[in-house]
Structure 1
Amino acid sequence: MASRIQRLVKSAGALNFRRSPSDIASTIGTIIARGKEVQDQVAAQTLPTFANTIAPLARFDNDSGADAAIVSFLQNVSTDKLVRDASSNAEQQLQAFRIEAMMREDVYRSVSSVFKNSKEMDRLEPEDRLLVEKMELQYRRNGLALSSEQRQKLGQIRKRLSELGIAFARNINESDGRILLTREELDGLPDDYFDGRKTEIEDGLEKYVVTTKYPDLVPAMQHAKRESTRRRLLTVEETRCPENIPLLQEAVGLRLEAARLLGYKTHAEFVLEENMAKTPEAVLEFEHDLRKRLDALADKEVAEIEAIKKADKEAAGEPYDGLFNWDFRYYSNLVKERKHSVSDEEVKQYFPMKEVTRGVLDIYQEILGLRFVKVENPDVWHSDVEMYEVWEAKGDDFVGHFYLDLYPREGKYNHACVNSIRASYSKDCESCEYPAAVMLANFPKPTSSAPALLKHDDVLTLLHEFGHVFHHLCTKTKWSYFQLDSVQVDFIEAPSQMLENWGWEPSVLRKFAVHYKTGEPIPEELVKRLLAAKNEGAGLFNMRQAFFGLFDMAIHNTTDGNVDIRSLYRSMREEITRFAAGDANACGAATFGHMMGGYDAGYYGYQWAKVFSADMYASRFLKDGVDNPQTGMVYRREILQPGGSRNASASLEMFLGRKPNNDAFLKSIGLD
Structure 2
Amino acid sequence: MTSLPTPPQAPMVWNHTPDSIKSYTEQLINEARALDDKIASLSETATIESVIKPYADLENKQAGLINQLSFYQHVSADKELRDASNESEEKFNAYSIEAGLREDVFKSIHKVYVDTKDSQDLDAETKRFIQKVNKQYERNGLAFPLETREKIKELKQQLSTLAIKFSKNLGEETEFILFTKEQLKGVPEDILSQFEEVKTDDGEIKLKMTFKYPDIFPVLKFASNPDTRKIAFSGDQNKVPENSEILVKAVKLRAELAQLLGYNNFSEYILEERMAKTPEIVNNFLADLRVKLKPLGDKELFKLKELKKADLKARGLPTENTDYYVWDQRYYHTKMLETEYKVDEMKIAEYFPMSNTISKMLEIYETIFNLKFVEIIKEDKLYNTWHEEVKQFAVWKLDNQEDPEFVGYIYFDLHPRKGKYGHAANFGLSPGYTDIFTGARVYPSTSLVCNFTRDKKDKPSLLKHDEVVTFFHELGHGIHDLLGKTKYSRFSGTSVSWDFVEMPSQFLEYFTWCEDQLKSLSQHYQTGKPLPDELIQSLIKSKNVNGAMFNLRQLHFGLFDMSLHTSKDGNVDIDSLWNDLREKVALVKNGDVKTKGYGSFGHMMGGYASGYYGYMWSQVFAADIFYSKFKGNPLNVKSGLEYRDKILSRGGSREEMDNLRDLLGRDPNSDAFLTELGISS
TM-score, normalised by the number of residues in structure 2:
0.96
Distance in 2 (alpha carbons) for counterparts of 1:3 and 1:523:
37
Match of 2:530 in 1: 521
- Is 2:317 the counterpart of 1:317? yes
1:415 — aligned with what? 423
Shift, 1:4, TM fit: 11
Of the structure 1 ranges 245-254 and 593-602, higher mean CA displacement relative to structure 2 is found in 245-254
The superposition leaves residues 254-288 of structure 1 with CA deviations (integer Å, 9 ceiling, x where unpaired) of 11111111111011111111111111111111111
Q: Could you tell me how far apart the structure 2 residues matched to 1:21 and 1:320 are?
A: 60
* Secondary structure of the structure 1 residue equivalent to 2:469: helix
- For residue 138 of structure 2, what is the amino acid of its counterpart? R
Give the corresponding residue for 1:592. 601
> In 1, are the aligned partners of 2:480 and 2:494 still within 8 Å (CA)?
no
Corresponding residue number in structure 2 for 1:490: 499
Checking the alignment, whether the CA contact within 8 Å between 1:313 and 1:320 is kept in structure 2 is no
- Measured at CA, do residues 241 and 273 of structure 1 come closer, stay the same or move farther in structure 2, by a change above 3 Å? same
Q: CA deviation at 1:118?
A: 4.0
Task: Give the Å deviation of 1:429.
Answer: 4.8
User: Does the 8 A contact of 1:566 with 1:587 survive in 2?
Assistant: yes
Letter in 1 for 2:425: C
Deviates more, 1:121-130 or 1:151-160: 121-130
Q: How many aligned positions are there?
A: 668
Contact 1:386 1:404 in 2 (8 A): yes
In 1, distance between residues paired with 2:484 and 2:238? 40
Contact 1:304 1:335 survives alignment (8 Å): no
2:230 alignment partner in structure 1: 231
Match of 1:560 among 541, 547, 569: 569
Amino acid at match of 2:544: N
After TM superposition, the structure 1 = structure 2 runs for residues 146-545 of structure 1, keeping only pairs within 5 Å, are 146-202=144-200, 203-314=202-313, 315-318=315-318, 320-321=320-321, 322-377=323-378, 378-393=383-398, 394=401, 395-427=403-435, 428-545=437-554
- Describe the shift of the 1:4–1:525 C-alpha distance in structure 2 as closer, same or farther (beyond 3 A): closer
CA distance in 2, matches of 1:296, 1:235: 29
Per-residue CA deviation, residues 70-127 of structure 1 (Å, 9 max, x unaligned), is: 1100000011111111101100000001111100000000000001114884432111
AA aligned opposite 1:16: V
The question of whether the paired residues in 1 share the 8 Å contact of 2:499 and 2:615 is answered with yes
Residues 1:13 and 1:565: Cα distance change in structure 2 (over 3 Å): farther
* Structure-2 change in CA distance of 1:484 and 1:119 (3 Å): closer
SS in structure 2 of the partner of residue 186 of structure 1: coil
Q: How far did residue 319 of structure 1 move?
A: 5.5
2:587 alignment partner, one of 568, 578, 584? 578
Q: Using the alignment, how far apart are the partners of 1:201 and 1:578 within structure 2?
A: 40
What corresponds to 2:33 in structure 1? 36
Q: Distance in 2 between matches of 1:465 and 1:497?
A: 9
Give the TM-score, by structure 1 length. 0.97
**Do structure 1's residue 97 and structure 2's residue 101 form an aligned pair?**
no
C-alpha separation in 1, matches of 2:670 and 2:486:
30
Native 8 Å contact 2:4 2:404 kept in 1: no
Structure 2: which 5+ runs fail to align? none
Shift of 1:392: 1.4
* Cα displacement (A) at 1:310: 2.5
Q: CA deviation at 1:584?
A: 4.2
Are the counterparts in 2 of residues 287 and 550 from structure 1 also a CA contact under 8 Å? yes
User: Once the 2 structures are TM-superposed, how far is the Cα of residue 182 of structure 1 from its aligned partner?
Assistant: 1.9
Aligned AA (1:643): G
TM-superposed deviation, 1:177: 2.4
Cα distance change of structure 1 residues 103 and 119 upon mapping to structure 2, 3 Å threshold = closer
Distance 2:623 2:188 in 1: 35
CA distance, structure 2, for counterparts of residue 586 and residue 406 of structure 1? 30
> For 1:301-340, what per-residue CA distance to the aligned partner results, in whole angstroms no more than 9, with x for missing partners?
1111212223333443335442222111101111121111
**Cα offset, 1:561, TM superposition:** 1.4
Please tell me the residue identity of whatever aligns with 2:662.
M
The whole-number CA distance in structure 1 between the counterparts of 2:408 and 2:656 is: 24
Counterpart code for 2:336: V
- Deviation, structure 1 residue 3: 12
- The amino acid that maps onto 2:353 is P
Distance, in Å, in 2 between the alignment partners of 1:356 and 1:140 is 48
Q: What does 1:25-104 correspond to in 2, within 5 Å?
A: 25-45=22-42, 46-104=44-102
Two-structure CA RMSD over aligned residues (Å): 1.6
Alpha-carbon distance, 1:582 to partner:
3.5
Letter in 2 for 1:188: G
User: What is the alpha-carbon distance in structure 2 between the residues aligned to residue 467 and residue 98 of structure 1?
Assistant: 29
- Aligned residue for 1:484, secondary structure, equals coil
**Secondary structure of residue in 1 paired with 2:198:** strand
Q: 1:639 aligns with which of 647, 664, 672?
A: 647
| Partner secondary structure for residue 179 of structure 1 | strand
- SS class of match (2:76): coil
Tell me the alpha carbon deviations over residues 151-198 of structure 1, each in whole angstroms, 9 at most, x when there is no partner. 111011111100010001111111232011122111111121123431
Structure 1 contact 171–244 (Cα < 8 Å) conserved = yes
- Shift in Å, 1:530: 0.5
* Percent sequence identity over aligned pairs: 39
Partners of 1:122 and 1:244 lie apart in 2 by: 51
CA distance, structure 2, for counterparts of residue 233 and residue 636 of structure 1: 42
8 A contact 1:245–1:565 mirrored in 2: no
CA contact (8 A) 1:463 1:500 kept: yes
* Distance (Å, rounded) in 2 between the aligned partners of 1:397 and 1:364: 16
Partner of 2:350: helix, strand, or coil?
A: helix
Distance 1:485 1:445 in 2: 29
Partners of 1:470 and 1:187 lie apart in 2 by: 41
Q: Specify whether residues 402 and 180 from structure 1 end up closer, same or farther in structure 2 by C-alpha distance, changes over 3 A only.
A: same
Distance between the aligned counterparts of 1:120 and 1:574, measured in 2? 53
Moved more, 210-219 or 115-124: 115-124
Question: Matched residue of 2:31: which SS?
Answer: helix
Q: 1:179 to 1:479 in 2, by over 3 A?
A: same
Correspondence for 1:130: 128
> Is this contact kept in 2: 1:370–1:390, CA < 8 A?
yes
Deviations 1:426-462 (Å, cap 9, x if unpaired)? 0145421010000011122222321111111111111
Is contact 1:13-1:401 (8 Å) kept? no
Cα distance in 2, alignment partners of residues 214 and 176 from structure 1: 13
8 Å Cα contact 1:245-1:566 kept in structure 2: no
- Indicate how the Cα distance of structure 1 residues 303 and 146 shifts in structure 2: closer, same or farther if over 3 A, else same: same
Higher helix share: 1
Distance 1:281 1:39, change over 3 A: same
Amino acid at match of 1:222: K
CA offsets 1:378-411 (integer angstroms, 9 cap, x no match): 2211111000000112323211000000111111
How far apart in 1 are the matches of 2:103 and 2:584?
A: 47
| Alpha-carbon distance in structure 2 between the residues aligned to 1:88 and 1:320 | 52
Give, as a single letter, the amino acid of the residue that structure 1 aligns with 2:38.
Answer: Q
Runs of 5+ consecutive residues of structure 1 not aligned to the other structure: none
Q: Secondary structure at the match of 1:259?
A: helix
Return the letter of the residue paired with 1:131: F
